[in-house]
Amino acid sequence: MQQASPTQAREHKVSMGDTLLDVQDLQVYFPVSAGIIFQRKVADVKAVDGVTFTVKRGETLGLVGESGCGKSTTGKAILQLNRPTAGHVGFEGTDLTKIKGGELRRFRRKMQMIFQDPYASLNPRMSVGSIISEPLTIHKLASGKDKKERVQSLLQTVGLNPYFANRFPHEFSGGQRQRVGIARALAVEPDFIVCDEPVSALDVSIQAQIINLLQDLQDQFGLTYLFIAHDLSVVRHISDRVAVMYLGHIMELTDRDSIFDNPLHPYTKALLSAVPIPDPQIERQRERIILLGDVPSPLRPPAGCVFHTRCPIASGECRVRRPDWRNVGTADKEHWVWCHRV
């Protein structure tokens, strides 16, 4: 019997998996204050404004968009690093927005994060062994010799020499530091990991190694990823489904092949038209969509659809009424869009 490839195994796992994460109408507002002595709130920065999606156990959901659109804030709000202003974050049936203290700490063992900057996310005063073992100490999972052996095993799992545990972060390259960050996230044996642009600060040659490592770890440990990125080619390689975000809202969400082969939202089409194609003949023939104007400020987002100020097909309705988040696909192959015109 022929053995399934890692991609086939991951797709099978997704099709059989139940819903691990359920995010409904998530809002994260940051207050803006005025005054020197008596400060008062004058406005809100609407970083995330009504995001809804689910993530199945064992799959990778890619979250893409321009810088400043709310991707990282969404990931941090799911882990309750930024407490949401409103909305529901269901993890294994428990609403994380309603719990705190020791109960939330127990759930955090199941959820971890790989940060964007491998240079800033590691404490330069701590050895690599101390960085990786810190979660084990906090959650009381190992001590003494067992903790030391666990750290060496984690280093080996991410492709580093287990005897590097006594070294410090400044002795490693960017790619090696990111592997240390991955080992730290794996230390508590989580089910769900938010990957916050884990390869954007790395050289292109190193990016592929880290992406392949993340896929191998997912197959080995049955991990579930929310993969945040702005590089569409990276997202296409690793994701099972893709969500496209703009100014705090998700514009479109569907499976990886549909988002690249049959995009429906005008913003998604514009993003994909900017991705270079290696074939010069195809590159010359395809239509390039240029969006006019700048991204509006999340401090004062436009009324109606937030994309209507740059949308080439906007109508009068788009300027006054928010679109509904609706499924225009089928029950078996969902295709969600936030648009009046689709």
The per-residue pLDDT for range 123-169, each reduced to its tens digit, is 999 999 999 999 999 988 888 889 999 999 999 999 999 999 999 99
Give the alpha-carbon dihedral of 42, 45, 50, 51, to 10 degrees: -160
Query: Three-state SS for 309?
Result: coil
Q: Please count the CA atoms within 13 angstroms of the CA of 69 that sit on its side-chain side.
A: 23
Q: Residue 96: pLDDT above 80?
A: yes
Can you read off the two tokens belonging to residue 315? 């109508």
Instruction: Judge: domain 6-32+44-110+190-338, CATH 3.40.50.300.
Output: yes
C-alpha of 231 from chain center: 12
**Helix or strand holding residue 101 (H, E):** helix 101-108
Split at pLDDT 50, 70, 90, the class of 4 is very low
Between 97 and 292, the more confident residue is 97
Query: Three-state SS for 322?
Result: coil
Share of the chain above pLDDT 90, in %: 68
Per-residue pLDDT, 319: 94
Average pLDDT of the segment spanning 226-238: 90
Per-residue pLDDT, 10: 45
Average pLDDT of the segment spanning 204-230: 93
Distance between CA 130 and CA 133 in Å, rounded? 5
Q: Residue 76: pLDDT above 90?
A: yes
| Contact in structure between 137 and 146 (CB atoms under 8 Å) | no
Average per-residue pLDDT in the chain?
A: 89
Distance between CA 342 and CA 340 in Å, rounded? 6
Q: Residue 2: pLDDT above 50?
A: no
Split at pLDDT 50, 70, 90, the class of 332 is confident
Distance between CA 190 and CA 113 in Å, rounded? 10
- Burial code (b: 16+ CB inside 10 Å, e: under 16) for 198-233 equals bbebbeeebbebbbebbbebbeeeebbbbbbbbebe
Query: Picking from 3-7, 89-93, 317-321, which range would have the lowest pLDDT averaged per residue?
Result: 3-7
Q: Residue 40: pLDDT above 80?
A: yes
Per-residue pLDDT, 234: 87
Distance between CA 47 and CA 43 in Å, rounded? 12
Per-residue pLDDT, 195: 96
Q: Residue 178: pLDDT above 50?
A: yes
Q: What is the reported pTM?
A: 0.89
Per-residue pLDDT, 7: 43
Q: Residue 193: pLDDT above 90?
A: yes
Query: Picking from 5-14, 92-101, 104-113, 318-327, which range would have the lowest pLDDT averaged per residue?
Result: 5-14
Can you read off the two tokens belonging to residue 44? 């809100």
- AA letter at 26: L
Alpha helices in 21-92 (DSSP H): 71-78
* The residue to which tokens 């992406």 are assigned: 211
Distance between CA 317 and CA 341 in Å, rounded? 9
* The residue to which tokens 């309603």 are assigned: 98
Q: Which of 101, 70, 109 is nearest to 228 (CA)?
A: 70
Average pLDDT of the segment spanning 222-248: 93
Q: How far is CA 58 from CA 33, 82, 89, 222, 272, in A?
A: 42, 25, 18, 6, 27
Average pLDDT of the segment spanning 174-190: 94
Domain ranges in the chain? 6-32+44-110+190-338, 125-183
| Contact in structure between 293 and 309 (CB atoms under 8 Å) | yes
Per-residue pLDDT, 12: 40
Per-residue pLDDT, 283: 64
